[in-house]
């Protein structure tokens, strides 16, 4: 992280030269003139020595300050990194006591315990929750912090902030937010290196082995009749939709726990046809994004922000393959099959 500070380096070299010149001159002045009387120097010679001493001291002091200035930014960065690591470690502690039953032992999402009908809590290990540019990061921090603090009324996501009657201090919510936003970073936790999600997974696995808690429940679809009737690509689509937590935001036919209400219902409902029969989406019927084929729909699923900048549907980082599979599953849902 340490970068070279060019002006400081030039100043340091210059000061060293001054110091060298002063010392060199001082060494010459120190040699008494052949005709000088014995004893301490007097008059102009004494004055000259004082000036030399003062100049040398000033140059040496300036050098010391510069040296400190060189170290200081590096020291600050190091201190900040340590502070961040400590916060993330505490976030891991809170997550593994409070959040894992719903969000999964490694933040991959899970079935909300005792939910009926089954409901999925979304994955929190998603790349879209850790944007890289500073502006988006600030906004995302705000969004995650407030979601944890206030919860989502009308959904199983509880209110956690003390100002809203929950158990967590702002500082603890900050730690959880930092952990989620640094989910792909290597951090030290109890002497082991790994991402925060590897650490939460280790903690929960150990607690399950000790009989303290139960492993969060993942939806099982492979044994269900609807799944067995799908082709391989559509089956892959079901897996993608489960893994990516689409059901945390969307209601999607047959997908266990997919009862979200943040985004449109993707199945047939009221007078709206299934998404495969909506020629314009985001949002049907007056949307601006064409949807006439699996191909069209895969483009939207892969990069909604490119097709409708600022849309509330996040770009989740799916590969072309995954997006096509998800779209293929959604296209398998027809009004007739419901």
Applying CB under 6 A, the residues found at the interface with ligand HEC are: 94, 98-99, 101-103, 112, 121-122, 124, 144, 147-148, 152, 155-158, 160, 176, 241, 244-246, 248-250, 260, 262-264, 266, 275, 278, 281-284, 287, 297, 300-301, 308, 311-314, 316, 318, 326
Minimum distance of ligand HEC from residue 74's CB (angstroms): 33
Minimum distance of ligand HEC from residue 256's CB (angstroms): 14
Rounded Cα gap, residues 21 and 30, in angstroms: 14
Q: What are phi and psi of 161, to 5 degrees?
A: -75, 140
Minimum distance of ligand HEC from residue 338's CB (angstroms): 16
C-beta atoms surrounding 113 within 10 Å: 13
Rounded Cα gap, residues 7 and 154, in angstroms: 58
Q: What are phi and psi of 14, to 5 degrees?
A: -60, -45
Which is closer to ligand HEC, CB of 15 or CB of 178? 178
Minimum distance of ligand HEC from residue 87's CB (angstroms): 13
Token pair of 73, please?
């930014």
Which is closer to ligand HEC, CB of 59 or CB of 180? 180
Which is closer to ligand HEC, CB of 15 or CB of 101? 101
Which is closer to ligand HEC, CB of 59 or CB of 168? 168
Which is closer to ligand HEC, CB of 103 or CB of 106? 103
Residues 6 or more apart whose Cβ sits within 8 Å of residue 159: 149, 150, 151, 165, 166
Supply the DSSP string of 129-189, one letter for each residue: GS--SHHHHHHHHHHHHHHHHH--TTSS----BGGGT-SB-HHHHHHHHHHHHTTTS-EEE
Which is closer to ligand HEC, CB of 15 or CB of 257? 257
Which is closer to ligand HEC, CB of 48 or CB of 89? 89
Minimum distance of ligand HEC from residue 221's CB (angstroms): 15
Rounded Cα gap, residues 174 and 160, in angstroms: 12
C-beta atoms surrounding 306 within 10 Å: 11
Beta bridge mates, 194? 187
Token pair of 89, please?
């470690």
**123 three-class SS:** coil
Q: What are phi and psi of 213, to 5 degrees?
A: -140, 170
Minimum distance of ligand HEC from residue 15's CB (angstroms): 52
Minimum distance of ligand HEC from residue 124's CB (angstroms): 6
CA distances from 70 to 2, 59, 101 (A): 9, 16, 48
């Amino acid at each position: 992280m340490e970068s070279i500070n060019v002006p400081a380096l030039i100043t340091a070299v210059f000061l060293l030269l001054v110091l060298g010149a002063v010392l060199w001159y001082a060494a010459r002045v120190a040699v008494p003139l052949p005709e000088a009387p014995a004893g301490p120097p007097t008059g102009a010679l004494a004055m000259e020595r004082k000036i030399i001493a003062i100049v040398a001291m000033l140059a040496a002091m300036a050098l010391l300050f510069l040296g400190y200035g060189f170290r200081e930014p590096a020291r600050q960065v190091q201190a900040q990194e340590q502070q961040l690591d400590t916060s993330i470690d505490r976030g891991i502690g809170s997550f593994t006591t409070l959040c894992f039953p719903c969000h999964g032992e490694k933040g991959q999402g899970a079935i909300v315990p005792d939910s009926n009908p089954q409901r999925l809590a979304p994955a929190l290990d998603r790349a879209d929750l850790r944007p890289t540019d500073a502006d988006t990061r600030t906004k995302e921090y705000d969004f995650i912090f407030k979601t944890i603090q206030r919860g989502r009324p009308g959904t199983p996501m509880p209110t956690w902030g003390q100002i809203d009657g929950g158990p967590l201090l702002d500082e603890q919510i900050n730690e959880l937010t930092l952990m989620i936003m640094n989910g792909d970073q290597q951090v030290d936790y109890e002497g082991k290196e790994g991402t925060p999600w590897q650490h939460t997974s280790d903690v929960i696995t150990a607690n399950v082995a000790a009989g303290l808690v139960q492993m969060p429940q993942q939806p099982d679809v492979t044994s269900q009749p609807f799944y067995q009737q799908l082709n391989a690509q559509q089956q892959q689509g079901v897996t993608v939709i489960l893994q990516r937590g689409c059901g945390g935001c969307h209601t999607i036919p047959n997908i266990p726990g997919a009862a979200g209400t943040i985004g449109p219902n993707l199945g047939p409902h009221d007078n709206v046809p299934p998404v495969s029969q909506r020629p314009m989406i985001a949002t049907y019927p007056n949307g601006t994004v064409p949807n006439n084929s699996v191909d069209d729909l895969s483009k939207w699923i892969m990069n909604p922000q490119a097709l409708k900048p600022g849309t509330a549907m996040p770009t989740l980082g799916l590969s072309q393959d995954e997006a096509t599979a998800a779209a293929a599953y959604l296209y398998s849902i027809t009004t007739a099959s419901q």
